Amino acid sequence: MIDPVPVALLALVLACALATAVLRDVLAAIIAFAAYSLGIAMIWVLLEAPDVGLTEAAVGAGVTTILFLVTITKTVRPPSEAIFESLDPKGLLVAVLIAGVLASTLGALPPVGSAETPVAQSEVTDYYLDNAYEQTEVKNAVTAVLAAYRGFDTMGEAVVVFAAGVGLLVVLGREVFA
Amino acid sequence: MSTPESEPVTSEDGDTGDSDRTLYVESPIIMGTVRVVAPFVFTFGLFIMFHGADSAGGGFQGGVIVSTVILMLAVAFGVESTRDWVTPERLVAIVGVGVSVVLLLGIGTVALGGSFLEYDVVPIDHFNKYGIELFEIGIGVIVSGIVAGLFFGLAAGASGDQRNDRDADEREGLL
């Protein structure tokens, strides 16, 4: 028996992805892209990764959409009645080929929630789950890994975000975000 | 928290055509919605940031959600007035504070004789927990500041606001 919820979500994500690609109006494509991110976020929650789902919902569906909207305010709508973009056969071929190559690896993936996956069998995972609370005193093992066990990584990520902002300022030739 | 006080910036030439769309449209629906929703989103963002140690979430997610409040205010009340309310200098300072907190925590534990981020060496009870919280808050401050900054940076280009543009010579010097 196939669970209808993931199937419906996957259909939504697929439909939104296709709509993003083929819609002629950029505004419509951006909104379809936001809906795609929302669908992906719900899939993360279904896969019991709420931390990732939160990120996807906030960044993908929220901030990115607004940044895109700000970006297109300088553009003009092409005076055309067509709803869909005419498809470029060469581009379509490349896209189908890439999707085909990626899909060919699907068979190698373990089933969702399988106990046989390398992550579930790894000694490191067991160590984190057994000791995270005693050693770090936080109940969310994900946070324990991010902010304590692998904190050097996380500090690097935070500095990368900082560097992105500095990079923007350098490109704009300004000292403040204005 | 209060909303930006200055008057929203309206498009000067009134009804504009498609070719001259301005960034900001004054809409009572958007303004009303943002007025109601913003405090809740802000609280939720802070909750995600502070409570990330014990439930789903953390500094990154919370920071992004907090910054969406600024983005919402900008969409509802005008980018320029929101930017002046936040003040761009303060934004840069906040991000700097966030980076300093994260670096201090990491290197501070080394200075106290432990290894990197070994919270135990700090002579404060339960500093493991508080240290992680502080680390998360530092990340949240960086992320929210940078996301809001990226938005203001992009919007400044989109609204055609040239008053902060430097001349070409000065820009070359910076690069």
CA A116 to chain B, closest CA, distance in angstroms equals: 25
pLDDT: which is higher, B24 or A158? A158
**DSSP string over B27-47:** -HHHHHHHHHHHHHHHHHHHH
Q: How far apart are CA A73 and CA A33, in angstroms?
A: 17
Question: Is the Cβ pair A67, B150 closer than 8 Å?
Answer: yes
Digit-coded pLDDT (tens) for B43-85:
999 998 888 777 878 888 899 999 999 999 998 888 888 888 8
Q: How far apart are CA B175 and CA B166, in angstroms?
A: 12
**Which residues are within 8 A (CB) of B155 and not within 5 positions of it... i.e. 6 or more apart?**
A70, B23, B74, B79, B83
pLDDT number for residue B22? 56
**DSSP string over B123-165:** SSTTHHHHHHHHHHHHHHHHHHHHHHHHHHHHHHHHTT--TTP
pLDDT number for residue B19? 40
Mean pLDDT by 10 residues, chain B (175 residues): 45 42 73 92 90 80 92 88 88 91 86 79 78 88 92 77 47 42
Mean pLDDT of A121-145: 82
- Considering only the beta carbons, identify the residue of A144, A147, A168 that sits closest to B153: A168
CA A42 to chain B, closest CA, distance in angstroms equals: 14
Question: Is the Cβ pair B75, A174 closer than 8 Å?
Answer: no
- Considering only the beta carbons, identify the residue of B83, B142, B175 that sits closest to A161: B142
Question: Is the Cβ pair A148, B95 closer than 8 Å?
Answer: no
Lowest mean pLDDT among A39-43, A135-139, B140-144, B152-156: A135-139
- ipTM score for this prediction: 0.82
Q: How far apart are CA A177 and CA B90, in angstroms?
A: 10
- Considering only the beta carbons, identify the residue of B59, B88, B126 that sits closest to A178: B88
Cα nearest neighbour of A165 on chain B: B146
Only one residue has tokens 């629906």, namely B29
CA B80 to chain A, closest CA, distance in angstroms equals: 9
- Considering only the beta carbons, identify the residue of A58, A142, A174 that sits closest to B68: A58
Question: Is the Cβ pair B64, A148 closer than 8 Å?
Answer: no
| 3-state DSSP of chain A | CCCHHHHHHHHHHHHHHHHHHHECCHHHHHHHHHHHHHHHHHHHHHCCCHHHHHHHHHHHHHHHHHHHHHHHCCCCCCCCCCCECCCCHHHHHHHHHHHHHHHHCHHHCCCCCCCCCHHHHCHHHHHHHHHHHHHHCCCCHHHHHHHHHCHHHHHHHHHHHHHHHHHHHHHHCCCCCC
Only one residue has tokens 């046989």, namely A116
Question: Is the Cβ pair B132, A174 closer than 8 Å?
Answer: no
Q: Which residues of A touch B153 (CB under 8 A)?
A: 168-169, 172, 174, 177-178
Digit-coded pLDDT (tens) for A70-98:
888 877 777 777 888 888 889 899 999 99
When pLDDT is cut at 50, 70 and 90, the band that residue A174 belongs to is confident
CA B123 to chain A, closest CA, distance in angstroms equals: 15
Q: Does A147 touch chain B (CB under 8 A)?
A: yes
Q: Which residues of B touch A178 (CB under 8 A)?
A: 83, 88, 152-153, 156, 164
Question: Is the Cβ pair A54, B56 closer than 8 Å?
Answer: yes
Partners of A23 in beta bridges: A84
